Structure 1
Amino acid sequence: MLMRETPVFIDGPAGQLEALYLDLEGAKGVALICHPNPVQGGTMLNKVISTLQRTARDAGYITLRFNYRGVGASAGSSDMGQGEVDDAEAAASWLREKHPDLPMTLFGFSFGGFVAATLGGRLEAKGETLAHLFMVAPAVMRIADPSALPQNGSLTVIQPETDEVVDPQLVYAWSDALSRPHELLKVAECGHFFHGKLTDLKDLVLPRLSN
């Protein structure tokens, strides 16, 4: 079976979005993966994003990762807010049109955690039932209203304990204050970009996709 991603372009609200798409026969679901901060070098080729894509693939999921507006070959310029969520919504719609009957899982790393969580709330408000939301080292300080998150489906927050970009205590406090059911997984001796810990990340995510 061909396991290589195919480059595609998706019509986004600010122009075309560059993306990588992997289709699988007999897939158990679809996974949309949102990359980190676009003005600090974050792209869909980030190694954490690549690890999440391969993990979803190995669990039997169709995957789509994409560059926000102004990143790589995606048109437009960075908005650092709702514009990137709009881009993610366009990517989710593209994926949903291709696979209307498969459950959707969202992944977001760092700034992408804010994007995926906000997108999840939008999709749920439109009647989409998400299977799972994974927020990895998420930029929770950008989520002004926790009620904007999806309220159904599973939620997993994965936080490196020695994160030098997102304050771990901020994420722990945010998790403590979150009323909806979720799990918080802490990764010991691990920085924001999971240097030397990408296998640990895969080991946390894979069983939660395979259940």
Structure 2
Amino acid sequence: MNAHTESSFIPGPAGPLELAIDRPTVPRPDGGVAVIAHPHPLFGGTLHNKVVQMLARAFVQQGWVAVRFHFRGVGGSAGVHDHGVGELDDLLAVVGACAAEPVPLALAGFSFGGYVAAAAAARLGAQRPVQALVLVAPAASRFTLPVLDAELHERTLVVHGEVDDTVPLAAVLDWARPQGLPITVVPGGEHFFHGRLPLLKSLVVRHLRAL
């Protein structure tokens, strides 16, 4: 993301996982860590994606350590794509290595990464509480997103573009509606939020400030 981004590797379920770590100038007193997941690997998704970098900047601005990582088979990460199953294990491995309790944990993801982040929050449940969950254009039309614990709703931000033609807004609403989970819709926004990244960042920062 910048000259101060740290590159690292951790052991993963399918071999080493490549990490990019950004640290805030003024960290949170409790040392919170945000793990951020990138879009679909088979469609060019990497930890360098502009939305993923924006999420990292928003968390760092609010004092969180931001950890982006490459899913298996991407960049320097070993393994091959596993259709979301192994990628969930990858994210959980990053959580275990970088955000061991009692450090507060945030999860975030864009598109496919949003699906994996939501699945990780559901998998962790009460055994490892998630203080903040940020899902940008989660891939509800392509994967079965989990039902989130109602207690997590107030700490969850879901943002979607009005005219997203990769993941239709209707699919995300169909997932959120039975849960009573609010969705923030960006008027005129498409899947990659071209021209609207500053707005997207401000929405994330506002959410984190309110926690």
| Structure-1-length-normalised TM-score | 0.90
What are the within-5 Å matches in structure 2 for residues 146-165 of structure 1? 146-147=146-147, 149-153=148-152, 154-165=155-166
- For 1:88 and 1:145, locate their aligned partners in 2 and report how far apart those are by CA, in whole Å: 16
1:61 aligns with 2:64: yes
**Number of the residue aligned with 2:178:** 177
- For 2:61 and 2:3, locate their aligned partners in 1 and report how far apart those are by CA, in whole Å: 9
What are the within-5 Å matches in structure 2 for residues 39-54 of structure 1? 39-54=42-57
Aligned-pair distance for 1:151?
4.4
Question: What root-mean-square deviation, in Å, do the aligned CA atoms of Structure 1 and Structure 2 show?
Answer: 1.8
Q: What is the SS of the residue equivalent to 1:183?
A: coil
- For 2:184 and 2:145, locate their aligned partners in 1 and report how far apart those are by CA, in whole Å: 22
Amino acid at match of 1:141: S
What are the within-5 Å matches in structure 2 for residues 48-197 of structure 1? 48-97=51-100, 100-124=101-125, 127-144=127-144, 146-147=146-147, 149-153=148-152, 154-179=155-180, 182-197=181-196
Q: Relative to structure 2, which stretch is displaced further, 197-206 or 182-191?
A: 182-191
For structure 2, list consecutive stretches of 5 or more residues without a partner in the other structure: none
Aligned-pair distance for 1:56?
0.5
CA change 1:160–1:9 in 2 (3 A) is same
* Alpha carbons 2:110, 2:137 under 8 Å: kept: yes
Aligned-pair distance for 1:131?
0.8
- For 2:7 and 2:208, locate their aligned partners in 1 and report how far apart those are by CA, in whole Å: 24
Aligned-pair distance for 1:207?
1.1
Amino acid at match of 1:174: W
Number of residue-to-residue matches in the alignment: 204
- For 2:76 and 2:206, locate their aligned partners in 1 and report how far apart those are by CA, in whole Å: 34
- For 2:116 and 2:51, locate their aligned partners in 1 and report how far apart those are by CA, in whole Å: 16
Q: Relative to structure 2, which stretch is displaced further, 24-33 or 166-175?
A: 24-33
1:30-77: CA deviations, max 9, x gaps? 111010001000000000000000010001111100000000110011
Q: What is the SS of the residue equivalent to 2:115?
A: helix
* Alpha carbons 2:40, 2:111 under 8 Å: kept: yes
- For 2:191 and 2:144, locate their aligned partners in 1 and report how far apart those are by CA, in whole Å: 22
Aligned-pair distance for 1:16?
0.3
- Runs of 4+ that moved beyond 6 A: none
| Structure-2-length-normalised TM-score | 0.90
% of aligned pairs identical?
39
- For 2:197 and 2:14, locate their aligned partners in 1 and report how far apart those are by CA, in whole Å: 33
* Alpha carbons 1:3, 1:22 under 8 Å: kept: no
